[in-house]
Chain A
Amino acid sequence: MKHIIIFIFSLLTLISCQQKADKVVKELPADSIFHLTSDWQNQNGTSLKLNDLRGKTLVVVMIYTSCKTACPILVADMKRIEKSILEKNLDKISLVLVSIDPEVDTPQRLKEFANTGGMDKAHWVFLRSNEEATQEFANVLSMKYKKISPVDFSHSNIISIFNPDGELILQEEGANINTQKVADKVNEVVEISSKE
């Protein structure tokens, strides 16, 4: 009888232990953008992988800094989104601007763009890579773009939200993006993922 009790006790320990382990070990979801292993540089010239952005809710847009038409609108949208994200959530998110023109958008240029645009806080991340990785990343966002002259691109306007595991949560497309809707969703995702 005594043995049976000890046996059940040990079994319980084992089960409770496994449950705990399930919660602690977090495999990357199969549809995560962090499966992309391309090399990137940020506005400080630091080399990184997309996986280094893991752990924060991401708001992502692709732009190029010399753009005079749609990109300034997209950048303004990103700033509006920033303003509508709750203060307490700002250290749990990253606002990520990815260049579609890596040749021109060097880390220095991105840094300048960030500073002059008032996007110098820690939650602003500017990324550039090579053409191949940029194209792959654009495809992950279902974003279309084409170089139409030595200085200009035509491109679709898409703002995307990814949860801290890199899963796509929401995409807003077009010239009049509802930034409040995006910010609300970001706040919601931060809330959900901090409970997990």
Chain B
Amino acid sequence: MKSNYIVSLGILVSLMISVGSCNKQEPTLLVTPKSSHTDITPIKTDVKMLTITGGKYLPFYSSDDSLVKVETFLIDEHPVTNQDYLLFVKANPQWRRSQIKKIFEDGNYLKHWVNDTTLPVNSNPQAAICNVSWYAAKAYAKAVGKRLPTLDEWEFVAMADTDTSNARSKKSYSDNIVNLYLEKNRQLNPVKQSAANYWGVYNMFDLVWEWTDDFNSVLVSGESRAGEYGDKNLVCAAGATSATDVLNYAAFMRFGLRTSLKANYTVNNLGFRCAKDINH
């Protein structure tokens, strides 16, 4: 008799709880995003930054051969490494593979990692991070108190070979880069194993492709390789841009890649490095 009493009391309590919880849930209609992707926890890394003395340069794609001014700025001496990116996701769970919002990636973000906070087996912690979207790269840059380089800044640094700041007119310049681009699985090698350029910057070409802040400013279509115009139907004033340096195959490859990218794309040999204004 006593046990029957306990059982019915239990049922009564569970009934009350279920009704209670039901009432509680009803008023909530729309749930607003809680943890914001822009709330970034800072991290500390010790990547050397180099000063790039600004100047005017002729962009690879230009409307009227007018020079573009690049201000003096700082750039990381090498692309962001696996090890440093791991620090970032450890400090910022919202940027872990399992937590990242789908709108910021294409389904393959850090797909090569073992799990949320473990680098791929046999990977070199000093190799460049890849399979990260533009959004993720932006967030990382924010975490280290930096930003992504602009396309002009990146290309400005990329004009250098080992001994001059602008080697574009040398025949060897483009050939050497194309040869580097053709090497397979180069993205798995650690940073800083090859020679630095004129500025002291490593690995502009030999390891990974790199995101730039305004990669989406390249409006030429893939068919405009011979200095012809882009699809005027698709873009407003597309005819304003055409290549200035048609023998620079390496640059065509880079710009071709940039036009094909979307900000949520993750690619297994696309990484990034950070930059900073000089007055910081």
In Å, the complex CA distance between A94 and B237 comes to: 28
A37 in contact with B19 (CB, 8 Å): no
How many Å from the CB of A75 to the closest CB on chain B?
13
B31 in contact with A26 (CB, 8 Å): yes
In Å, the complex CA distance between A62 and B87 comes to: 37
B45 on interface, CB distance cutoff 8 Å: no
In Å, the complex CA distance between A154 and B36 comes to: 32
A13 in contact with B19 (CB, 8 Å): yes
Query: Which single residue of chain B is at the shortest CB-CB distance from A26?
Result: B30
A residues in contact with B233, CB < 8 Å: 174-176
Q: Which of B29, B213, B216 contacts A24 (CB 8 A)?
A: B29
A residues in contact with B14, CB < 8 Å: 10, 14
Q: Which of B103, B138, B213 contacts A30 (CB 8 A)?
A: B103
**A32-54 vs B: 1/0 string, CB under 8 Å?**
11111110000000000001001
Query: Which single residue of chain B is at the shortest CB-CB distance from A131?
Result: B214
Query: Which single residue of chain A is at the shortest CB-CB distance from B23?
Result: A17
Q: Which of B11, B138, B240, B262 contacts A6 (CB 8 A)?
A: B11
Report if A69-B19 is in contact (Cβ < 8 Å); known contacts: A139-B134, A144-B217: no
In Å, the complex CA distance between A71 and B238 comes to: 14
How many Å from the CB of A88 to the closest CB on chain B?
23
B81 on interface, CB distance cutoff 8 Å: no
B25 in contact with A155 (CB, 8 Å): no
How many Å from the CB of A13 to the closest CB on chain B?
5
A146 in contact with B19 (CB, 8 Å): no
B234 in contact with A27 (CB, 8 Å): no
How many Å from the CB of A168 to the closest CB on chain B?
9
Instruction: Give the dominant DSSP class at A's interface.
Output: mixed
B residues in contact with A104, CB < 8 Å: none
Q: Which of B22, B134, B264 contacts A21 (CB 8 A)?
A: B22
In Å, the complex CA distance between A14 and B14 comes to: 9
Classify chain B's interface size: 35 or more
A142 in contact with B262 (CB, 8 Å): yes
B residues in contact with A173, CB < 8 Å: 234
In Å, the complex CA distance between A170 and B122 comes to: 42
B residues in contact with A24, CB < 8 Å: 25-26, 28-29
Classify chain A's interface size: 35 or more
**B150-161 vs A: 1/0 string, CB under 8 Å?**
000000000000
In Å, the complex CA distance between A139 and B237 comes to: 19
Report if A146-B101 is in contact (Cβ < 8 Å); known contacts: A28-B33, A154-B235: no
A87 on interface, CB distance cutoff 8 Å: no
A10 in contact with B18 (CB, 8 Å): yes
Query: Which single residue of chain B is at the shortest CB-CB distance from A64?
Result: B236
B238 in contact with A154 (CB, 8 Å): yes
Report if A51-B31 is in contact (Cβ < 8 Å); known contacts: A10-B11, A144-B217, A157-B234: no
A25 on interface, CB distance cutoff 8 Å: yes
Report if A135-B214 is in contact (Cβ < 8 Å); known contacts: A13-B19, A28-B31, A67-B236: yes
B residues in contact with A140, CB < 8 Å: 103, 263
A residues in contact with B225, CB < 8 Å: none
How many Å from the CB of B213 to the closest CB on chain A?
8
In Å, the complex CA distance between A174 and B221 comes to: 13
B236 in contact with A71 (CB, 8 Å): yes
B residues in contact with A55, CB < 8 Å: 30
A154 in contact with B22 (CB, 8 Å): no
CB-defined A-B contacts under 8 Å, sample of 18? A6-B15, A10-B18, A17-B22, A20-B22, A24-B26, A25-B28, A28-B32, A30-B101, A30-B102, A31-B102, A32-B103, A33-B103, A37-B36, A135-B216, A139-B216, A142-B216, A154-B240, A155-B219
A residues apposed to B, CB below 8 Å:
3, 6-7, 9-10, 13-14, 17, 20-21, 24-38, 51, 54-55, 67, 69-71, 135-136, 138-140, 142-146, 148, 152-157, 173-176
In the complex, given contacts A17-B21, A30-B103, A156-B236, what are 5 additional A-B residue pairs having Cβ atoms less than 8 angstroms apart? A14-B18, A25-B29, A70-B237, A139-B263, A157-B235
